Amino acid sequence: MIEVRRSGELAPSVDRAAGWPTPHFFSSFTSTGDTPMAKSSTEKPAKQTTTTPLTVTAETHHARGFGVKGYFENYDSLSGITMADPFQRAGDRTDVFVRFSTVAGNKGSMDLARDVRGFAVKFYTREGNWDLVGNNMPVFFIQVTMKFPDLVHSVKQEPDREFPQAQSAHDNFWDFISLTPEAMHMITWTMSDQAIPRSFRFMEGFGVHTFRFVNADSKSTYVKFHWKPMLGMQSVVWNEAVKINGADPDFHRRDMRNAVTSGDAPAWELSVQLFDDDFADSFDFDVLDATKLIPEDILPVKPRHRLHQRSAAARSKFLWRANYEPKSWGADGGPREDPDEGFRSYVESVSGDKRRVRPESFADHFSQARQFFSSQTPVEQAHIVDALVFELSKVQTPRIRERVVAQLVNIDTGLAADVATGLGMPGAPERIEPAREPIDLDPSPALSILLSGPDSFEGRRLGVLVTNGADAKTLRSMRAAVTNVGAQMAHIAPTISGVVDSDGNELAVDEEIDGGPSVLFDAVALVLSADGADAHVHCKFVGLGPNAEVLLLAAGLDDSRRDAGYVDVGSTQKSSAAFVDALAALR
Ligand code: HEM
């Protein structure tokens, strides 16, 4: 039988560091009346003081981030639903600052870690600053705020050895996860390609929580926030992520800076899912449960606003001496709180007893994890299996591996069996009894990156391997076709000092061949080049210019080893445009 520790079972309940029995902190206070999860604002700070604090800023969660300035523009007004300033008038613009981040790694870690990405937007509204803190995944690991310090401590480097960092592939993380079944939905996301995005520009953002909009009549409407990238979604594959981290640990921040400084600043559309209490009550789960999403197929998202970036900023300067309130610095001796103009909570009646219990509406931990897995294409499902096998093979304690696989059975028996096989576990995986039996929900295509991919090559980068004598006409028409769809083209050459094309023009070189491996590009083309082999291995599209045939044969890539990704590129504008059209697809 797979051993699962429940409160007080199989383990002493007295924490040796704190010296007292571990309290039942894993449920928030709730009322037994109609209002679920009425949270107490004092409980989390109390819990945090009983656990080891992460005091070094460079080592806290979301330590590694990159910021961009831009503006937010309303398509239409939501003034009937909310009083919030940025949504009042169609066409209004509000300045914003967006910080993208990874969660687990320290400040100097690499960008392509398998991780959730932070997507935090600060609106400089006419009423003051408003933070819409989001992630690139619509759900979260835990249902109860109180578990947060444990989640973060489990994923950060193990305290007795300070590694691994920027990796969830270790015993402590999977130990915590295997004992926290509510996390399994989020695990299907973090083990999917969503956790290794091609760049910040190709990922979605979600407010995760269910918020309230409140209008001038104090009427409340529930709202979930979705940011959709105008470029579509794209990820890299794990094999690329590993190599990108070595070749360019700053890949994501460099990509964003390149895009913004070259005038191709990315944009997202903000969509809101709006609903009332009756709609909320129509679900078996609680809309306040952060491990759940409302599928777009049930409540479609409609873009209402646009976020546009215009400049990149890696660091900020501290302009203020103090970040507490009340304070007496400054000419006015302030600022001080303002009960009238400042933030006001929505007023609601709460009845019943105040208790630390988890409501029954939070008991289904697997149905949406199942839905996420069944919504993926077979390739994406195979990536999830590979990711789990990789992560769990770094776990040295067999019973932790077994517990995770036993949780996976509740998501998909095939998934559990494939992971078990990958880990060399004998026999059919056992199952851990779930708190509530999961049900099968309809697949939601919006949950698949491959089904929501870009429809053109816009925003992506073609690396062209060039040597002295590269055909000038081919290069010219290729650049025109790439620029025409809003993409970028870079020259890769045997040396960084430049090459001379067939017309005698000097070409600036962006990357020397070893510094610019094919993994750093979305597609590659060979115009008088030698080595197409690496691009072949990484499933890139490969454009074949004049003479490339000879070189491919020399690299052992005869016809039998080439698929539809190898495209002949003639020297005309028309053939270059056809090549760039082919690049729109994801491979
Ligand atoms: C459930 C309990 C949660 C707690 C207690 C919590 C706590 C925190 C804290 C203390 C920080 C600041 C870290 C620092 O700078 O030292 C932080 C940052 C952040 N959190 Fe959470 N968090 C929670 C859930 C979430 C969720 C659900 C999301 C997604 C919407 C999220 C997204 C972020 C992001 C994006 C940042 C970085 C913001 C930035 O770029 O400055 N967190 N969180």
Task: Write down the pLDDT at residue 357.
Answer: 83
Task: Write down the pLDDT at residue 282.
Answer: 94
Q: Is 268 exposed, middle or buried (0-12, 13-18, 19+ CB in 10 A)?
A: buried
Where residue 565 sits, what CATH number does that domain have?
A: 3.40.50.880
Quick check: is 433 in a domain? Answer: no
Ligand 1 midpoint to CA 135 (Å): 9
Ligand 1 midpoint to CA 575 (Å): 49
Quick check: is 467 in a domain? Answer: yes
**C-beta separation of 447 from 299 below 8 A:** no
Ligand 1 midpoint to CA 158 (Å): 20
**pLDDT tens, residue order, the chain (587 aa):** 565 545 444 556 655 555 556 666 566 666 655 444 433 333 443 444 444 444 445 778 999 999 999 999 999 899 999 999 999 999 999 999 999 999 999 999 999 999 999 999 999 999 889 999 999 999 999 999 999 999 999 999 998 999 999 999 999 999 999 999 999 999 999 999 999 999 999 999 999 999 999 999 999 999 999 999 999 999 999 999 999 999 999 999 999 999 999 988 999 999 999 999 999 999 999 999 999 999 998 888 877 777 777 666 555 555 566 777 787 877 777 777 787 777 788 888 888 888 888 889 999 999 999 999 999 999 999 999 999 999 999 999 999 999 999 999 999 999 999 999 999 999 889 999 999 999 999 999 999 999 988 889 999 999 999 989 999 999 999 999 999 999 999 999 989 999 999 999 999 999 998 899 989 999 999 886 444 334 444 556 677 776 677 667 766 667 776 777 777 877 788 888 888 888 887 66
Measured from the CB, is residue 130 less than 6 Å from ligand 1? Answer: no
Task: Write down the pLDDT at residue 583.
Answer: 82
Ligand 1 midpoint to CA 315 (Å): 19
Q: Is 129 a catalytic residue?
A: no
Number of domains forming the structure of the chain: 2
What does residue 347 show for φ and ψ, rounded to 5 degrees? -90, 125
Ligand 1 midpoint to CA 55 (Å): 15
DSSP state of 201: G
DSSP state of 501: -
Q: What is the CA radius of gyration of the chain?
A: 26
Quick check: is 90 in a domain? Answer: no
Ligand 1 midpoint to CA 459 (Å): 29
- For a substitution probing ligand 1, which of 54, 99, 122, 133 has the most ligand atoms within 8 Å of its CB? 133
Q: Is 43 exposed, middle or buried (0-12, 13-18, 19+ CB in 10 A)?
A: middle
Ligand 1 midpoint to CA 93 (Å): 26
Quick check: is 113 in a domain? Answer: no
Select from 207, 43, 51 the least CA-distant residue to 120.
Answer: 207
What does residue 210 show for φ and ψ, rounded to 5 degrees? -95, 125
Return the ligand 1 atom nearest residue 290 CA. 27
* Pairwise CA distance, residues 292 & 362, whole Å: 9
Residue nearest to atom 19 of ligand 1 (CA): 62
- For a substitution probing ligand 1, which of 27, 51, 148, 256 has the most ligand atoms within 8 Å of its CB? 148
Return the ligand 1 atom nearest residue 207 CA. 30
Residue nearest to atom 9 of ligand 1 (CA): 61
3-state secondary structure 359-418: CHHHCCCCHHHHHHHHCCCHHHHHHHHHHHHHHHHCCCCHHHHHHHHHHHCCCCHHHHHH
Measured from the CB, is residue 64 less than 6 Å from ligand 1? Answer: no
Task: Write down the pLDDT at residue 50.
Answer: 40
Task: Write down the pLDDT at residue 41.
Answer: 37
Quick check: is 89 in a domain? Answer: no
Measured from the CB, is residue 60 less than 6 Å from ligand 1? Answer: yes
Quick check: is 243 in a domain? Answer: no
Task: Write down the pLDDT at residue 359.
Answer: 87
Task: Write down the pLDDT at residue 493.
Answer: 93
Measured from the CB, is residue 120 less than 6 Å from ligand 1? Answer: yes
Select from 349, 345, 347, 415 the least CA-distant residue to 378.
Answer: 415
- For a substitution probing ligand 1, which of 42, 48, 62, 100 has the most ligand atoms within 8 Å of its CB? 62
Quick check: is 514 in a domain? Answer: yes
Residue nearest to atom 40 of ligand 1 (CA): 99
Residue 15 domain boundaries: 1-56
* Pairwise CA distance, residues 134 & 205, whole Å: 6
* Global pTM value: 0.87
Measured from the CB, is residue 198 less than 6 Å from ligand 1? Answer: no
Measured from the CB, is residue 101 less than 6 Å from ligand 1? Answer: yes
Q: Is 197 exposed, middle or buried (0-12, 13-18, 19+ CB in 10 A)?
A: buried
Q: Is 538 a catalytic residue?
A: no
Active-site choice (61, 74, 106, 135): 135
* Pairwise CA distance, residues 192 & 184, whole Å: 12
Task: Write down the pLDDT at residue 528.
Answer: 64
Ligand 1 midpoint to CA 58 (Å): 15
Quick check: is 570 in a domain? Answer: yes
Measured from the CB, is residue 544 less than 6 Å from ligand 1? Answer: no
